Amino acid sequence: MTFLVRTKQKISRLLSAFFKKRTCRIGIYGPPNAGKTTLANRIVRDWAGDAVGPVSEVPHETRRVRRKEDITIKAQNGNSVTMDIVDTPGVTTKIDYNEFVEYGIEKDEAIKRAREATEGVAEAMHWLREDIDGVIYMLDSTQDPFQQVNIMLVGIIESRKLPVLIVANKNDLPDASPARIKSAFPQHPVIAISGLEGTNVDELYEKMTSYFG
């Protein structure tokens, strides 16, 4: 193979990569322990037979952004969308190591986890500013929605005009009140689900194909 032919092939590959349409990146954001990783695992398992990461009752189990690429979701109406699912740490203004100590974790390990979680929040916000194309905003339907919303996160979403789906999670629990979340966000679609039980996720998939497709 001549040098000229090899050069043409290399240029062709570079141009193909440059003009290839990037798969949309959908970030799952929300407060700690709202069920973000549980939902990410549900989506990835349903459509790729895989998982994103471990879950725990301990806050900030997810302390780094995790991504699963090229997940194709198909709705019952025939629509489909291929996306990268981006699971993010719980966004909060302050992370105290005592949150981990309360769950029996030793102080040194708790301090380490708090530092990692703080760095993870900064990483998640960077992704939101630069690399995310749409947001699933995950809220705990057993809690007051106004105490869960992070103003900085909402500000970035609004400034970038990102499409947003509000998910009221943990709808399987007896004290769940998705109506409170719906009333707090009248301008956005709100889907009440249980990421753990899989309740109503088909409706979420329908919305995802239409909103993010």
Assess contact for 156 and 150: CB atoms under 8 A.
no
Residue-level pLDDT at 198:
94
**What would the two tokens of residue 200 be?**
């109503």
**Can you list the positions of beta strands (E) in the chain?**
24-29, 66-74, 80-87, 134-140, 164-169, 190-192
The structure's pTM equals 0.86
**What would the two tokens of residue 178 be?**
């998705």
Sign of CA dihedral 179, 184, 186, 187: negative
pLDDT of residue 14 exceeding 60, the answer is: no
pLDDT in tens, 108-158: 999 999 999 999 999 999 999 999 999 999 999 999 999 999 999 999 999
* Strand 80-87 to 66-74 pairing: antiparallel
Residue-level pLDDT at 19:
43
